[in-house]
């Protein structure tokens, strides 16, 4: 794995994380610290899953 | 019970459940069954039980038809293999 | 009995009756299209119910249905592909009618709710509903491979 591909992978996961975290923020009822922490964790897991799904469909 | 939406949902559930029994082919039954799942979720919502409706949607819209179709496929394959051996 | 409840009753009653008629008669292709239509009709109906009961939390049901309904149709499209390749169903007329219904309901609800995160949720639900239906319709008419993009 070269440096460039590593940087691309990190950028993709970060983009998914931002998008999915924004979705979480739009869907919750009240914004507080606990919700933000749980949302950040869930968006991280979902971002990894989303990258895996994207790679399975369109290739690496 | 005076609520017309409840009456509509109850009629739809009764109709789709009857039709799911009346259709004979298992594959087509799976199609009617998935519609019945959606209609049941609507009935639960109308009766002010959205949590029940949510779990009904989660199970009834994708998982139940998948299980049924996989079962039908497996049974059919086994039948074909036995027919060839004979 | 307010107007929203009446609209929900008409949408659910009329649309789901038509769906039931389609899913129990005719060839297999028509039945699969009708099953796809059940999602597209019930989701706007659930949105109208949430507005009628003045409970924004009920939008979650429509959201879950908008995500999982097309998944169910894709299950049928994948596992019935052998039966469907000979006679691919024509789904454009009902698919686009249902998409127009969903868009109209979402826009009407956006007009009456105060702008904010609830509006975003409604718009996401509408986008998932219309997009999922178009993808599922394409999978039914063009085979499962048409969706994958090659």
The yes-or-no verdict on residue C134 having pLDDT over 90 is no
Q: Specify the pLDDT at position B70.
A: 92
The domain of A13 spans 3-58
Sequence-ordered alpha helix ranges (H) in C25-149: 28-52, 59-79, 81-86, 92-112, 117-142, 145-148
Quick: pLDDT tens for B2-25.
588 899 999 999 999 999 999 888
Q: Which of A26, A57, A58 sits opposite C121 (nearest CB)?
A: A26
Q: Which of C1, C45, C75 sits opposite B65 (nearest CB)?
A: C75
Q: Is C121 in the A-facing interface, judged by CB distances under 8 Å?
A: yes
For residues C39-50, average pLDDT: 92
Searching chain C, which residue's CA lies closest to the CA of residue A24? C121
Q: How far apart are CA B54 and CA B38, in angstroms?
A: 10
Residues 6 or more apart from B68 whose CB is under 8 A from it? Answer: B26, B29, B30, B33
The yes-or-no verdict on residue B1 having pLDDT over 50 is no
Q: How far is C60 from chain B (nearest CA, A)?
A: 8
Searching chain C, which residue's CA lies closest to the CA of residue A26? C117
Chain B positions touching C30 (Cβ under 8 A) are: none
The domain of B47 spans 4-85
In terms of Cα–Cα distance, which of C69, C62, C38 is closest to C125? Answer: C62
pLDDT category at C95 given cuts 50, 70, 90 is: confident
- Contact A57/C117, CB-based, under 8 Å? no
Please give the model's pTM, rounded to 2 decimal places.
0.87
Q: Which of B4, B5, B50 sits opposite C61 (nearest CB)?
A: B50
How large is the ipTM? 0.88
| Least confident piece of the model among C23-37, C44-58, C84-98, C117-131 | C84-98
Quick: pLDDT tens for A10-54.
999 999 999 999 988 888 888 889 989 999 999 999 999 999 999
C-alpha distances in angstroms, A52 versus A4, A13, A14, A60, C131? 19, 10, 14, 9, 21
Searching chain C, which residue's CA lies closest to the CA of residue B11? C13
Count of the separate structural domains present in chain B: 1
Q: In chain C, what percentage of residues exceed pLDDT 90? A: 43
């Amino acid at each position: 794995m070269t440096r460039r591909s590593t940087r691309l992978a990190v950028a993709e996961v970060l983009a998914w994380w931002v998008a999915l975290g924004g979705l979480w923020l739009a869907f919750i009822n009240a914004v507080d610290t606990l919700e933000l922490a749980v949302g950040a964790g869930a968006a991280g897991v979902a971002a990894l899953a989303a990258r895996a799904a994207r790679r399975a469909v369109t290739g690496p | 019970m005076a609520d017309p939406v409840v009456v509509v949902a109850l009629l739809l559930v009764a109709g789709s459940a009857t039709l799911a029994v009346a259709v004979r082919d298992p594959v087509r039954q799976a199609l009617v069954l998935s519609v019945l799942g959606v209609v049941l979720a609507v009935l639960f919502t109308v009766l002010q039980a959205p949590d029940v409706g949510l779990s009904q949607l989660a199970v009834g819209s994708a998982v139940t038809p998948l299980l049924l179709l996989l079962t039908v496929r497996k049974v059919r394959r086994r039948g074909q293999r036995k027919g060839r051996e004979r | 009995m307010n107007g929203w409840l009446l609209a929900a009753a008409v949408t659910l009653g009329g649309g789901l009756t038509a769906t039931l008629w389609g899913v129990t008669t005719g060839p297999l292709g028509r039945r699969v299209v009708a099953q796809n239509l059940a999602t597209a009709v019930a989701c706007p109906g659930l949105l109208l119910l949430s507005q009628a009961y003045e409970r924004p939390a009920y939008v979650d049901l429509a959201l879950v249905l908008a995500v999982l309904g097309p998944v169910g149709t894709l299950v049928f499209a994948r596992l019935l592909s052998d039966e469907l390749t000979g006679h691919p169903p024509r789904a454009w007329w009902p698919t686009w009618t249902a998409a127009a219904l969903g868009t109209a309901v979402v826009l009407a609800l956006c007009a009456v709710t105060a702008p904010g995160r609830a509006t975003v949720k409604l718009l996401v639900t509408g986008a998932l509903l219309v997009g999922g239906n178009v993808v599922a319709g394409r999978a039914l008419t063009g085979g499962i491979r048409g969706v994958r993009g090659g």
